[in-house]
Chains A and B, each alone.
Chain A
Amino acid sequence: MQAAADTADPVQALTQSGYKWGFATEIETELAPKGLNTDIIRLISARKSEPAWLLEWRLKAYAAWLTMAEPHWAMLAYPPIDYQDLHYYAAPKRKPGPQSLDEVDPELLRTYDKLGIPLRERAILAGVTPEEGTRQVAVDAVFDSVSVATTFRETLAKAGVIFCPISEAVREHPELVQRYLGSVVPTGDNYFAALNSAVFTDGSFVFVPKGVRCPMELSTYFRINARNTGQFERTLIIAEDGAQVSYLEGCTAPQRDENQLHAAVVELVALNDAQIKYSTVQNWYPGDAEGRGGIYNFVTKRGACRGARSRISWTQVETGSAITWKYPSCILQGEDSVGEFYSVALTNHRQQADTGTKMIHIGPRTRSTIVSKGISAGQSNNTYRGLVRIQPKASGARSHTQCDSLLIGDACGAHTVPYIESRNASAKVEHEATTSKIDEDQLFYCRQRGLSQEDAVGLIVNGFCKDVLKELPMEFAVEAQKLLAVSLEGSVG
């Protein structure tokens, strides 16, 4: 193939450059001993100065976890995980409570700099009134397990929005945390959620009070840094009546040879007329071309549309991780509530992704939209697994699923496993799925107009994903497009 010959060299150069975000930060880290037992849980709880009820809650989750078995129904193959061979707590050593960015370890700031987080920039801009209409982004940066710095706290506080590390929320707003924590994803929900509930070390807490539209996009950057540490994020977002919030989550992790375990839990609660938009760009280390290393990502994300006319929207661009096990879901309880799921999952080399969503229609006239785009290249496997369930009381419910897979190369796999259950005659459920390869005609057309093979594939893949990418907030849309092209390097030709 002529095109292949043309692009072989630059492609090779690009792939050999390796994982762009693969660096390790050398700062002192405080590690708990390896292994998981009630002592470790007590240690985590003590380090975080947690109240007694939370320790009880953790221990209950741990007891549940001990009785559960790791799920193996997903189309994922990986060696057994030794849960006793992990550190469950790692915190950067630092002076207690940095009050400003200047007090933050400069090594840490450099790490973020390489990641391109506009932390500094925002700090410099502090005090300058932003122009009308320009958007601000508040960043709650998570470095391993402890939130290091939070910006724009004051602006948010003025609007009544609480945006802080969850450990801080436990101290400052215990009544809110106690009321909502575990109310969407109970401690014993599934194996990984139970594990997370027992050992979570940090994450973000967002509370948007009644009638408030959050004045800026909220964003968190997750990084996994220390060797052999599992990362167990816990995020809780609550939007009261009429509140609106858009939350962005981005992930990159340094290159490591050992597989690292990540089991996060995200809970969203939307009350009457509330709207929550949760966007993710996930670019954790996927392992090398032979499948060595990479993050194991077992995540439970669920939103409860508790109030009437509430809306929860999940948007995800998943390009990283060696193993992805993730099903952001919506429980559509309030009448006329809306759930949305927009997903791009790209796998290359030996990555495996089993991802999708669940839409549980409980209330009348609830609606859901699912758009899933899966791209498999190399020797990877990419599975869409979804559930649409219409309960008997969901009269007039509507659900539409569009699920497309694109195969690049003849050594990868693309799979679709939707479950569609309807128990209400007046509900209308539609599902469509297609699988195909990149159209030769489209490639030829682009090549004929002078695009390189790489650029042509990038263009076509971006077109394939357009319906999802357009749902991303502006800040992420550009990064996501670049990420898709970078992740596909070396897969064409």
Chain B
Amino acid sequence: MSAALAETAHSFLARYEGLREHLPGDGAARQAAAAAFAAIGLPGPRDEAWKYTSLRPLAEIAFHAPLAALADPHAPSALMPALDMPRLVLVDGRMQPDLSVLPDGVRVSGFAAAPEFGALPGAGRDAMAALNTMLAEDGARIEIPEGVDAGVLAVISLASEAAHHPVDFHPRHAIRLGAGARLTLLELARGHGVYLHNPLTELHVGAGATLVAVRLLEESHRSFHLSGTYAEIADGGSYELFLLHLGAGLARSEIDVTLAGRGARFDLRAAQAIGEARHGDITTVVRHAAPHCASRQSVRTVLDGRARGVFQGRIEVARGAQKTDGYQMSQALLLSPDAEMDTKPQLEIYADDVKCSHGATIGELDADQLFYLQSRGVPQAQARGMLVHAFLAETVAALPHAGARELAEAAIEAWLGARSA
């Protein structure tokens, strides 16, 4: 670890030492996380999982804890999307009951009110997860009882810039679907200014339950978004995730899914659109721990300017997880000569009766397609825009919820508009 990273890690640890008496929940779990974080530190380029994503820019900023209370709780409303649905709103990592509209049939509480750390596999090994456990103050806890179709729920995370200096927050979310339950979750992250958003989400999808999640990251271009999602899917359960990386100076989404029960399923459709000198990283681990499970992952990346895109995806098939069907595809479009794409798709297979494959492509816009459009009178710039839009829009076309789809499409349009402007 570089000296600068060590110093930043040290400042987080010092913050923990100062706050530990006041932090909610199991002190022993936090202490263990702090010990782990002190031992691992912030990951550097020598850490295999962080080979392509450097946290050096993070070390250049002095972060502070966010203000305990907002002077004007309605100030961040300008960032709020117009949504006609139940919603939980967090500002700087803290639940805002005044801005939230609670749904029926769903048990919702804040982490601060009912602090509990789960014990999902994988969550203990990662430095950012340890940092979250060490400093988590609040977060959304959502529970859908057995057999309930909870409809749609939005979880909106806003960064307010109220403190006028860089802040960091580490919300801890827990979402639990009982057997046969259903939920469509819309996760939005937006903000102003310089901040570190390091959420950790623990997900349990019960037997035969279905979770459709749409995650739209439109964080400030000067922000850091480092998130961890640890999911466990029981027999016949299904987790379908649509992930759009459109903002943040440095964004990394780590998705760790364990298909724990027979016939469980995970679907990921992700797109990153990154410009300027920004950085986007989608890292997935899908563990097939039971037989007859299926996973499908498709990740599309568009890079402009001096942007750098990363996709790392590992499919693990445990001994005995026969009849596994695992598929993964990463496609990247480089729009500028200075962009860089790094891909590491991995297969780790210990069962023989499986069908696993992955593919990866990196290239520029197809010259034939451009020519086709231009020969029909579409100006070159517009033709390029159309092709990029088509490449990204395919990711969200399958979104089952119309409102979420419109929101995602508008976000893509906005990214393209900003690019051509």
Q: Tell me the nearest residue of chain A to B317, going by C-beta.
A: A435
| In contact, B359 and A431 (Cβ under 8 angstroms) | yes
B164-172, B265-273, B348-356: which lies at the interface: B348-356
| In contact, A418 and B357 (Cβ under 8 angstroms) | no
- Does A38 reach chain B (CB closer than 8 Å)? no
| In contact, B349 and A419 (Cβ under 8 angstroms) | no
Q: Which of A418, A434, A436 contacts B360 (CB 8 A)?
A: A418
CB distance from B306 to the nearest CB of A (A): 11
With A429-B362, A437-B352: A420-B334 Cβ-Cβ less than 8 Å: no
- Does B81 reach chain A (CB closer than 8 Å)? no
| In contact, B334 and A422 (Cβ under 8 angstroms) | yes
A135-143, A198-206, A304-312, A402-410: which lies at the interface: A402-410
CB distance from B345 to the nearest CB of A (A): 6
Q: Tell me the nearest residue of chain A to B345, going by C-beta.
A: A418
B125-133, B335-343, B403-411: which lies at the interface: B335-343
- Does B319 reach chain A (CB closer than 8 Å)? yes
Q: Which of A419, A420, A434 contacts B356 (CB 8 A)?
A: A434
- Does A423 reach chain B (CB closer than 8 Å)? yes
- Does B238 reach chain A (CB closer than 8 Å)? no
The distance in angstroms between the C-alpha atoms of A410 and B291, with both chains bound, is 13
Q: Tell me the nearest residue of chain B to A436, going by C-beta.
A: B355
| In contact, B347 and A432 (Cβ under 8 angstroms) | no
| In contact, A429 and B363 (Cβ under 8 angstroms) | yes
Q: Which of B338, B347, B361 contacts A433 (CB 8 A)?
A: B347
Q: Which of A73, A412, A437 contacts B48 (CB 8 A)?
A: A73
CB distance from B254 to the nearest CB of A (A): 18
**Chain A contact residues: helix, strand, loop or mixed:** strand
| In contact, B345 and A415 (Cβ under 8 angstroms) | no
- Does B56 reach chain A (CB closer than 8 Å)? no
Q: Tell me the nearest residue of chain A to B364, going by C-beta.
A: A425
Q: Which of A409, A410, A421 contacts B322 (CB 8 A)?
A: A410
The distance in angstroms between the C-alpha atoms of A417 and B343, with both chains bound, is 10
The distance in angstroms between the C-alpha atoms of A26 and B346, with both chains bound, is 47
Set of chain A residues within 8 Å of B319, measured between Cβ atoms:
410-411
Which of B43-65 touch A at CB < 8 Å?
48, 52
- Does A103 reach chain B (CB closer than 8 Å)? no
Q: Which of A417, A420, A433 contacts B362 (CB 8 A)?
A: A420
Q: Which of B336, B338, B345, B352 contacts A409 (CB 8 A)?
A: B352
Set of chain B residues within 8 Å of A424, measured between Cβ atoms:
334, 337
- Does A171 reach chain B (CB closer than 8 Å)? no
Set of chain B residues within 8 Å of A412, measured between Cβ atoms:
350, 352
Q: Tell me the nearest residue of chain A to B360, going by C-beta.
A: A431
Of the four ranges (under 10, 10 to 19, 20 to 34, 35 or more), the interface on chain A belongs to 35 or more
The distance in angstroms between the C-alpha atoms of A418 and B343, with both chains bound, is 8
| In contact, B344 and A433 (Cβ under 8 angstroms) | no
Which of A419-463 touch B at CB < 8 Å?
419-437
| In contact, A413 and B344 (Cβ under 8 angstroms) | no
CB distance from B238 to the nearest CB of A (A): 23
- Does B358 reach chain A (CB closer than 8 Å)? yes
The distance in angstroms between the C-alpha atoms of A291 and B354, with both chains bound, is 26
With A425-B336, A427-B362, A430-B361: A410-B347 Cβ-Cβ less than 8 Å: no
Q: Which of A418, A421, A428 contacts B340 (CB 8 A)?
A: A421
Set of chain A residues within 8 Å of B349, measured between Cβ atoms:
405, 407, 413-415, 435
Q: Tell me the nearest residue of chain A to B341, going by C-beta.
A: A422
Q: Tell me the nearest residue of chain B to A377, going by C-beta.
A: B352
Set of chain A residues within 8 Å of B343, measured between Cβ atoms:
418-421, 431
| In contact, B356 and A410 (Cβ under 8 angstroms) | no
Set of chain B residues within 8 Å of A432, measured between Cβ atoms:
357-360
Q: Tell me the nearest residue of chain A to B354, going by C-beta.
A: A435
Given A407-B354, A420-B344: 10 more A-B contacts, CB < 8 Å: A410-B322, A414-B347, A419-B343, A422-B332, A425-B334, A425-B363, A428-B362, A430-B360, A434-B357, A437-B353
Q: Which residues of A contact B (CB under 8 A)?
A: 73, 390, 392, 405, 407-437
Q: What are 12 A-B contacts defined by CB distance under 8 Å? A: A392-B338, A410-B352, A411-B319, A414-B347, A417-B346, A418-B344, A420-B360, A421-B52, A421-B342, A425-B334, A435-B355, A436-B354
Q: Which residues of B contact A (CB under 8 A)?
A: 48, 52, 319-320, 322, 332, 334-364
